Amino acid sequence: MKKWSMYCCVLFAVFAFLAAGCTKRSTIPDEELVPDKSSTGTIAGSEDSLISSNEAIPYSDESESADAAKAKTTLVPVYFDFDSWVLSGAAREAIQKNYEWMKANQGTKISIEGHTDERGSDSYNLALGENRAKSVMKYVITLGADPSRVSIISYGEENPADPGHNEQAWAKNRRAEFVVQ
């Protein structure tokens, strides 16, 4: 009998707790949400000129966007061998080209993004991407770049250049990219 009464008390306490936690939300009647037509003004323009809620609003700093577009066409990715962050001759040439761009654009800061292919664990690929970005950063600094203008970040396998699942795609994904900040 004591067990039964204890069970009922616990069950009652649980239901009371749940019922107290679920308060009724207050709602606003639909009439209050619609503004009075006499108090609203007219909007000049047509519906075609309005931006839909799903459309992104572009950033309008023309000088910055022009620099970023120019950098995107000028800066080249640095490619790596499988499971490596050692700079090859071709990688050093790519870094040299990017350094020449950095010398010509002294006011810009650069982020070096390390990327990997999809093979390997997430944590391993993040570490490998970081090592790739660090090796590129060290080489750029030895060429003469100001260390305060260069930062690194690793994306691991998260941002593939080619979403394919073959050796050609993986070779494109094993890279470090220079990005204007």
**pTM for this prediction:** 0.61
For residue 112, the cross-strand partners are 152, 178
Q: Where are the alpha helices (DSSP H) in the chain?
A: 2-21, 30-33, 62-74, 89-104, 122-143, 167-173
Q: At what angle do helices 89-104 and 122-143 cross, to 10 degrees?
A: 60
Paired tokens of 154: 């690793």
Please report, in tens digits, the pLDDT of each residue of the chain (181 residues total).
677 777 767 777 776 666 666 555 555 454 544 445 444 444 444 444 444 444 444 444 444 555 555 555 689 999 999 999 999 999 999 999 999 999 999 989 999 999 999 999 999 999 999 999 999 999 999 999 999 999 999 999 999 999 999 999 999 999 999 999 8
Residue 71's closest CA among 83, 79, 63?
Answer: 63
For residues 87 and 133, what is the distance between their CA atoms, to the nearest angstrom? 11
CA–CA distance, 19 with 61 (Å, rounded to integer): 54
Report yes or no: 175 and 155 within 8 Å, Cβ to Cβ. Answer: no
Domains of the chain as residue ranges with CATH: 63-102+109-157+168-174 (3.30.1330.60)
Q: Which of 54, 148, 57, 167 is nearest to 110 (CA)?
A: 148
